[in-house]
Amino acid sequence: MSISKKKNLEGAEVNSLAKQDFYQRYGNIFGIIWKRTINYDQVSFTSDGEAMNAYYDANVKLVGTVIQKKLKTSRMIHRNISMKSVLVILKKM
């Protein structure tokens, strides 16, 4: 079994097919921000009141979506939950 190497994106412009796929999935959301990185076309947006990022690879495949959450540290301290435990819980979600 071989591991394929990530293909870098060429050029500075976000792929129009990535944008098309995004709009088909999420609709015409206001306030989106597109950014091209070395490996991904990234779009930042808000959906249902939650800040999110979606990542498209060189093959215009949606490879991940991240929901940004803020943890309330006072609640964690009160419940005596360590940050390591919280990260384990988040990975399982």
Domain ranges across the chain: 16-92
pLDDT in tens, 4-25: 567 888 889 999 999 999 999 9
What proportion of the chain, given as a percentage, has pLDDT over 70? Answer: 68
Cα(51)–Cα(42) distance, rounded to whole angstroms? 13
pLDDT band (50, 70, 90) for residue 33: very high
31 Cβ neighbours under 8 A, 6+ residues apart: 45, 46
Q: Which two three-digit tokens encode residue 45?
A: 């947006």
User: Which fold would CATH assign to domain 16-92?
Assistant: Beta-lactamase Inhibitory Protein; Chain:B, domain 1 (3.30.1450)
Cα(7)–Cα(82) distance, rounded to whole angstroms? 37
The pLDDT assigned to 73 comes to 56
pLDDT in tens, 46-64: 988 888 999 999 999 999 9
Terminal-residue alpha carbon distance, the chain: 28
pLDDT in tens, 68-91: 776 665 555 555 555 544 444 444
